[in-house]
Structure 1
Amino acid sequence: MPSLPQILRDQLATGPLPFAQVMALALYHPEHGYYGAGPRRIGRQGDFFTSVSVGPLFGKLLAIQAIQEWQTLGEPKDFTIIEQGAHDGQLAEDILNALEGRPLRYLIVEPNPRYREAQAKRLGDRVQWMENPTALQSGPQHGFFLCNELPDAFPVHLVRWNGTRWEELYVTEALQFVPGEFSCAELAEEAKHLPQDLAPGHTLEINLAMLHWIRDLAQAAFRGAIFIADYGLDAEEFFADTRSSGTLRRYKQHQMDGRVLEDLGECDLTTHINFTRLIEEATRHGLTQRDYDLQGRLLGRMAMPWLKSLEGQPLDAAVMRQFNSLTHPAFMGRSFRCLVLEKPSR
């Protein structure tokens, strides 16, 4: 099978491609994509850290939240924890272990068979799978959906303000960016809502895939809540003059830079989430914002029932380190944000 560089060269030889197509190949090509070939090592030995790689406490806090959601709904028998972007299944394992035998089902949304294989190896028959969020339209009827660092890895379109209008950025055969007309009507419509008082050359990402995804979730059958943890910004921050080059970045061996057309397929590509836009689209499709905050503050509130249950006993040193890593502003507490959406029955 041709290598990813050869596949890209062949496709780009026919003309420039929207960056979203290049990013999709670089991340999700089934053989050569950064994520397509199977779960990546995360943590000290990988390219980046996540809240999951800190330790099992993140899963414990989400399990506490899931139990509260189940109880609020009247403890329905079909209540299901639904995770998308489960990677190698570590978060699912942490949550299931923290449930302490409560009869809650666990469902993973995962289209990639290599990931399902890795998850099954870790989790056995404690979970079930479905391929995409649209399958949730047939059930379950009650649920708690969660994802950690998912929409930041969706392929994005790049657009640049030329002083008069927004243009899309395309990738050439020489792996350089060139401006052009919008590649689709939906992108042109979305660009109408962007600021027009920015300096020429200001570049932004438009995450159409994120908007499609939240619409699919809004159409799911379950009643309950949706929990989204990711690094992102409010619109005012997202469009700030200080971010004139956008938020798209390359991660490799814990180093971050803007050389996003280098080593395609061998490094992670990621963007910050425009949470304001995500909340707008969620609300437009019937979801309600219940809570939205910096991860440190929101996880701190989620942890209160657990902390009270300790009745003044000191935290284990390892658990305290995990809690600090997740919540302290100098670590993940400020760089990540959490959004909780209320979802009615469809």
Structure 2
Amino acid sequence: MSSLPQILRAKLAATPSGRLPFAQVMELALYHPEHGYYGAGPRKIGRQGDFFTSVSVGPLFGKLLAMRALQEWRDLGEPADFTIIEQGAHDGQLAEDVMDALGGTGIRYLIVEPNARYREAQARRLEGRPVHWVESLADLKTSPAHAFFLCNELPDAFPVHLVRWNGERWEELFVESDGAEAFRFIPGDCSCGNLEAEVKHLPHDLATGHVLEINLAMLAWIRDLAHSAFRGAIFIADYGLDAEEFHADARAEGTIRRYHQHQMDGQVLAGLGECDLTTHINFTRLIEEALRHGLAQREYDLQGRVLGRMATSWIQSLEGSQPDAATMRQFQSLTHPALMGRSFRCVILEKPPGR
């Protein structure tokens, strides 16, 4: 059976130039149905996996999102078709936490999931619960009419193009075989018109060799989301930066990294298919594209501040009593600046009627 590096070398050999944009390599490494890091099914998250997420901290994250969803439902006038939509649901843990917190409210839950193996894992975890699945955002073009959309750490796993400033112009970084067992980067002209359009807006005063990630898939995703049928809020949590922060000298090598057993490095062409590949998202560019397609910005802030504000009603419900120690640890992990509170950011967008 071929390994993923063998599959990649065959693809490279089949191209006239012998090279591929990094975005295609990243997509193969993460989502190949048999050898991709995510393609074969949900990965373990937490201490026994390669990384932690807000979901792996415990159920409080889901509880806070459930409370926000209830508030959105009330603000919309409690419509009967109100649906919580999640994309990037992994093994269904966040969906379970949200529905546990909702109790018997009867609010619908919908998961956008193209991978059949993930749908099977989610269905096993959520057996007996009122959950439905669709394969893509295209399935949301006619219904529901009212929703609260949420995703946690989704756009950071979209395949990205890499570009590098050569002192005179931006070049795309392609991947080619080094003639032995490994792969290497080689610069060239942009591989598509959309990438050419993006690099036109990048600065020209950076140090020679500065690398940036261009997440064309994220821009296409937010456009699709903006053109879906529902009215309501969109909650996006991820690790990322503002555009200006990407241009700092400290990030001249880019933010693309590989993760394995809680170890991180920049050797993104090594261990393909065996390691997670991820990049910080450009929140400035994401929000800009969202506004251009009719969405409105409600909030954009560090995760600690956003979740702290979302937790206000939960804290008030305690009526002065202290939460149990485990819940308090979860709250601190999610909001403390030295933990996830600063490294993650949240944006809440609004999708008004008719968009």
TM-score, with structure 2 as normaliser: 0.97
Q: Compute the displacement of 1:2 (Å).
A: 2.2
Query: Residue type of the partner of 1:201?
Result: G
Find 1:90's aligned residue among 89, 93, 99.
93
Equivalent position to 2:349, from 338, 341, 345: 341
Return the alpha-carbon distance in structure 1 between the equivalents of residues 92 and 246 of structure 2.
31
2:116 paired with 1:78: no
1:139 corresponds in structure 2 to: 143
The residue aligned with 1:326 is 334
C-alpha distance in structure 2 between counterparts of 1:344 and 1:114, whole Å: 34
**Do structure 1's residue 244 and structure 2's residue 248 form an aligned pair?**
no
Encode CA deviations 1:88-126: one digit per residue, 9 max, x unaligned: 000000000000211100000000000000000010242
- CA distance in 2 between counterparts of 1:258 and 1:160 reads 15
Amino acid at match of 1:311: E
Q: Which amino acid aligns with 1:19?
A: F
Which sections of structure 1, spanning at least 5 residues, go unmatched? none
Which amino acid is 1:51 matched to? S
Which residue matches 1:27?
A: 30
Distance in 1 separating the partners of 2:3 and 2:243: 38
Q: Which residue of 1 aligns with 2:225?
A: 217
C-alpha distance in 2, partners of 1:173/1:260?
A: 14
Q: How far off its partner does 1:135 sit?
A: 1.1
Q: Which runs of 5+ in 2 are unaligned?
A: none
The corresponding residue for 2:48 is 45
Distance across 2 between alignment mates of 1:207 and 1:195: 17
Q: Does 1:127 align with 2:131?
A: yes
Query: 1:5: which partner in 2?
Result: 5
| CA shift for structure 1 position 344 | 1.2
Q: 2:201 aligns with which of 180, 193, 214?
A: 193
Report what 2:176 is aligned to: 172
Q: Per-residue displacement from partner, 1:253-294 (whole Å, max 9, x unpaired)?
A: 000000000000000000001000000000000000000100
- Percent identity of paired positions between Structure 1 and Structure 2: 76
| 1:45 shift after superposition | 0.1
1:202 to 207, 210, 231: 210
User: 1:178 is aligned with what amino acid?
Assistant: I
Secondary structure of the equivalent of 1:138? Answer: coil
Range moving further from structure 2, 120-129 or 154-163: 120-129
Give, in angstroms, the shift of residue 238 of structure 1. 1.4
- Structure-1 residue corresponding to 2:263: 255
What is the identity, as a one-letter code, of the residue corresponding to 2:60?
L
Shift of 1:3: 1.9
2-structure distance, mates of 1:189, 1:6: 33
Offset at 1:134? 1.5
Give the ranges of 4+ consecutive aligned residues of structure 1 lying more than 6 Å apart after TM superposition: none
Give the aligned residue type for 2:144: P
Match of 2:167 in 1: 163
Once the two structures are superposed, the pairs formed by residues 101-116 of structure 1 within 5 Å of their partners are 101-116=104-119
Q: 2:86 is paired with a residue of what secondary structure? A: strand
Structure 1 residue 210, shift from structure 2 partner: 0.1
**1:33 maps to amino acid:** G
Shift of 1:173: 1.3
One-letter amino acid matched to 1:185: G
Distance in 1 (CA, whole Å) between partners of 2:249 and 2:196 is 22
Mapped to 2, the partners of 1:224 and 1:293 lie a distance apart of 19
Name the aligned partner's letter for residue 126 of structure 2: L
Name the aligned partner's letter for residue 119 of structure 2: R
Rounded to whole Å, the distance in 2 between the matches of 1:158 and 1:164 is 17
One-letter amino acid matched to 1:162: N
C-alpha distance in 1, partners of 2:8/2:20? 10
Give me the CA root mean square deviation.
Answer: 0.7
Cα shift at 1:241:
1.6
Deviation by residue 1:22-47 (Cα, 9 ceiling, x = unmatched): 00000000111000000000000000
1:148 aligns to what? Answer: 152
Q: Which of 287, 290, 296 is residue 288 of structure 1 equivalent to?
A: 296
Task: Give the C-alpha shift of residue 9 in structure 1.
Answer: 0.8
**Partners of 1:156 and 1:186 in 2: CA distance:** 12
Aligned length in residues = 346
| Distance of 1:129 and 1:109 partners within structure 2 | 6
TM-score (norm 1): 0.99
SS in 1 for 2:56: coil
**What CA distance in whole angstroms lies between the structure 2 residues aligned with 1:11 and 1:95?**
42
Residue identity opposite 2:10 in structure 1: D
Aligned partner of residue 57 in structure 2, secondary structure: coil
Counterpart residue identity of residue 88, structure 2: G
Equivalent residue, structure 2, for 1:313? 321
